[in-house]
Amino acid sequence: MNLMLAAVIIVSLSIALLYIGNQFRLPSIVSFLIIGMLLGPFGLGIITDQSAIETFGQIGIVLLLFTIGLEFSFEKLLHSWRTVIIGGLLQVCTTIVAITLVTSYFKFPFNEALVFGFIVSLSSTAIVMKILQERREVDTLQGRTLLGILIFQDLAIIPMILITPLLVGSSGPDLERLPYQLGKVAGLLLAIIILAKWVIPSLLYRIARQKNRELFFITIAGTCLCIAWLTSEAGLSVTLGAFVAGLIIGESDYNIDALSHIIPFRDVFAAIFFLSIGMLLNTITVFRDLNWVIFIVIIILFVKILTGVFSAAVLGMPARVCIFTGLALCQIGEFSFVLAKSGLDSHLISDGLYQLFLAGAIITMALTPFAMNASPRIVEMYYRVVPRMAVRPGQPELDNNAEKNLSGHMIIAGYGATGKSVARAAEITGIPYMVIELNPEIIRKEKTSRHPHFVFGDAAQREVLEHAGIYNARSLVVVISEQEAIPRIVHLARQLSPHIHIVARIQHIRHTQKLLDIGADEVVSEEFEAAREIFTRALRKYHLPETEIQKIVTRLQKWGYAKFIKNPENGRTISSIDTLLHSLRIHTIKVEPGSFSEGKTLADLDIRNRFGIAEFGFRHGEKTVFDPDNDLKITAGDALIIFASDETIEEMSPLFRA
């Protein structure tokens, strides 16, 4: 087929499937794998010669590992060392052991079983982090736990790449070559230190001084390719060299600019890589061995969910975080394709097992978003079966009679920056309070003899709220980061204590009415508060006095807060939240020569009564007057600064046009 026609078909199919996948919230990787299956020799046969596309795909995976290295930070590793080392090590090792035992049970050779364990142990950093970003949960407890484990998995690819060649052609690992390989690693680490500390920063500094973007990009790309080639010549993986190059440049002052140059190329070539992987999947073999494919997928999901839950539980995480972690890590990762392709090329993995792996990878990747979205329902089912696990035994919790000693107190769900500020304010004013927090590290750090009232657990569970004294509390402040848990907390608290005053913080305005309907008394929207602050600062650029700004903002607040309070004092609510954000804005209307307004006074126009405008400014030349007199005469070139809706301005504009 003509190359241009093939490119047109690929692009057209990519647009269609990516659009459909986006509607169903499927990762783009899954769409590219499916496109490869359709276009490849085992599908429609549009592309039969894979050598060129595999070359581009290899460049894509090199750039993918290079950008991972750029984004990786040793400081980040040290900050979350416990999650990375303990949680990540447990998750990877337990998965490898479990998969190796299962595959060995089915009479696979040990080497093949071990490599398959390596492959399954890795999860997709790209898919998980993208879903977390869409859910705005990267900086939550479960997000940080997942990030730590995924960082370890990204690092674990290095020893796996080193060990895999040792497994070729023998019944077990070649231990005689192990010291030689370890020596290579030591030499590589020494080279990384030298290059990262002295050579690369000096080179990039000289290049950056030239202020030539093409030269800078070529230098970054050349550094990546050169180091990848050197590691390949040393007998190590090209992809490992790309990761090392990313680490070196990532420790310099130029990592952000380098990343911005590489990302567009990485996305294109990585897409080609996944296309080439999809082309290798023999759909005939998959349908012929459909029972085995289903069995493999079930084994992968079962083992990875179980090991993910186990690793998070060992870290002391509550059940909700443990279950979410297990479900988020249930897929096969992009680095697994590198290992699987390496094993296939070295004949360590048979083609049949490789086809089963490809099928399992595509299916588990496609199931990941649905598994993560199902987490809240699974957690609720778990707590119904094991209700006492809402407060974990052995964790710091309330003293036996602590809840009985508190009355009229405030319960604070979440002890982040906002929760801590609320607690400090309550302490200053002498209001007794009780904190519910999921993070055991925060409990261990904050709970002292001076601040004894901390409960470890999930505020969405009845037992936890009862421990916090929900029946005797006067108010509940919900300031947790996990947005999906907020409605459950509000609903349960209202059921347990009809008289309690509930204040909840949310991110998006569109969720306000739902929270008010299920029991919240007041809702604080981060989106609305940010809009109000930005609007206030924008008004200052129009040189309005602070008194006038305060009037406008106060009116906006009264209008807006009516939507965020269940029983507003004036008894009125606005009909649409869109009206709140978009109906009022600042307009500047210039008086054109020959218009109706020219030569008239403000009293003649009667703007306040005719159009319901309370405040406006008047600019004449370089002078701006606020709250002008009605006797002020309007001349051509003057301008009115008005805070009103678009509809009002459209109605007024003919008075000032020629």
End-to-end Cα distance, the chain: 64
pTM beyond 0.85: the answer is no
- CATH number where 611 lies: 3.30.70.1450
The C-alpha atoms of residue 103 and residue 292 are separated, in whole angstroms, by 12
Task: Please count the structural domains in the chain.
Answer: 3
**Best mean pLDDT range from 381-395, 519-533, 543-557, 576-590:** 519-533
Q: What are 1-25's pLDDT values in tens digits?
A: 566 777 788 888 888 888 888 887 7
Burial group, residue 573, by CB count within 10 angstroms (0-12, 13-18, 19+): middle
Q: What is the pLDDT of residue 349?
A: 80
Q: Give the percent of the chain with pLDDT over 70.
A: 81
Residues 59 and 142 in one domain: yes
- CATH number where 441 lies: 3.40.50.720
Per the domain annotation, does 471 fall within a domain? yes
What sections of 72-212 are H helices per DSSP?
74-79, 81, 88-105, 110-121, 125-135, 141-163, 178-194, 200-209
Q: What is the pLDDT of residue 330?
A: 92
Lowest mean pLDDT, pick from 159-163, 336-340, 408-412, 535-539: 535-539
Q: What are 181-195's pLDDT values in tens digits?
A: 667 767 776 877 787
**Residue 404 pLDDT grade (very low, low, confident, very high; cuts 50, 70, 90):** low
Q: What are 81-117's pLDDT values in tens digits?
A: 788 889 999 999 999 999 999 988 888 888 888 888 9
Residues 349 and 418 in one domain: no
Residue 208 vs residue 399, higher pLDDT:
208
Residues 428 and 374 in one domain: no
Per the domain annotation, does 311 fall within a domain? yes
Q: Stretch 388-408: mean pLDDT, rounded?
A: 50
Query: Rounded mean pLDDT of the chain?
Result: 78
Residues 230 and 358 in one domain: yes
Residues 223 and 351 in one domain: yes
Where does a domain end: 459, 483, 506? 506
Q: What is the pLDDT of residue 460?
A: 84
**Residue 576 pLDDT grade (very low, low, confident, very high; cuts 50, 70, 90):** very low
Q: Stretch 556-585: mean pLDDT, rounded?
A: 51
Q: Residue with structure tokens 């003649």? A: 604
**Best mean pLDDT range from 125-139, 493-507, 572-586, 640-654:** 493-507
Q: Give the percent of the chain with pLDDT over 90.
A: 12
**Residue 570 pLDDT grade (very low, low, confident, very high; cuts 50, 70, 90):** very low
3-state secondary structure of 189: helix
Q: Please check the confidence at residue 392 and state whether its pLDDT lies above 90.
A: no
Q: What is the pLDDT of residue 94?
A: 95
- CATH number where 323 lies: 1.20.1530.20
**Residue 514 pLDDT grade (very low, low, confident, very high; cuts 50, 70, 90):** confident
Per the domain annotation, does 523 fall within a domain? no
Q: What are 587-627's pLDDT values in tens digits?
A: 778 888 888 888 888 888 888 778 877 667 777 776 777 66
Q: What are 272-331's pLDDT values in tens digits?
A: 777 877 787 777 777 888 888 899 999 999 999 999 999 999 988 888 889 999 999 999
Residues 422 and 318 in one domain: no
Q: Stretch 433-444: mean pLDDT, rounded?
A: 84
Q: What is the pLDDT of residue 634?
A: 86
Where does a domain end: 315, 347, 379? 379
* Structural domain boundaries, residue 308: 3-379
Per the domain annotation, does 319 fall within a domain? yes
Q: What is the pLDDT of residue 217?
A: 84
Angle of the 351-373 helix axis to the 28-39 helix axis, nearest 10: 140
With b for 16 or more beta-carbon neighbours within 10 A and e for fewer, the 604-631 pattern comes to ebebeeebebebbbbbbeeebeeebeee
Lowest mean pLDDT, pick from 371-380, 409-418, 571-580: 571-580
Per the domain annotation, does 616 fall within a domain? yes
**Residue 359 pLDDT grade (very low, low, confident, very high; cuts 50, 70, 90):** confident
Q: Please check the confidence at residue 473 and state whether its pLDDT lies above 50.
A: yes
Residues 336 and 238 in one domain: yes
The C-alpha atoms of residue 161 and residue 156 are separated, in whole angstroms, by 9
Q: What are 115-170's pLDDT values in tens digits?
A: 889 999 999 877 787 778 777 777 778 888 888 898 788 778 778 877 777 776 54
Q: What is the pLDDT of residue 366?
A: 79
Residues 119 and 223 in one domain: yes
Residues 315 and 460 in one domain: no
Residues 39 and 118 in one domain: yes
Q: What is the pLDDT of residue 447?
A: 76
Dihedral angle of Cα 561, 565, 571, 577, to the nearest 10 degrees: 50
CA-based torsion, 535, 537, 541, 542: positive or negative: positive
The C-alpha atoms of residue 455 and residue 71 are separated, in whole angstroms, by 36
Residues 370 and 438 in one domain: no
Q: Please check the confidence at residue 412 and state whether its pLDDT lies above 90.
A: yes
Q: Please check the confidence at residue 582 and state whether its pLDDT lies above 60.
A: no
Per the domain annotation, does 330 fall within a domain? yes
Residue 258 vs residue 627, higher pLDDT:
258
**Residue 50 pLDDT grade (very low, low, confident, very high; cuts 50, 70, 90):** low
Per the domain annotation, does 568 fall within a domain? no
- Output DSSP code: residue 615: -
For 24, the token pair is 């169903």
Q: Stretch 374-385: mean pLDDT, rounded?
A: 82
Residue 656 vs residue 561, higher pLDDT:
656
Where does a domain end: 477, 506, 535? 506
**Residue 201 pLDDT grade (very low, low, confident, very high; cuts 50, 70, 90):** confident
**Residue 561 pLDDT grade (very low, low, confident, very high; cuts 50, 70, 90):** low
Per the domain annotation, does 467 fall within a domain? yes
Residues 356 and 424 in one domain: no
Q: Stretch 49-74: mean pLDDT, rounded?
A: 71
Cβ–Cβ under 8 Å, residues 276 and 53: yes
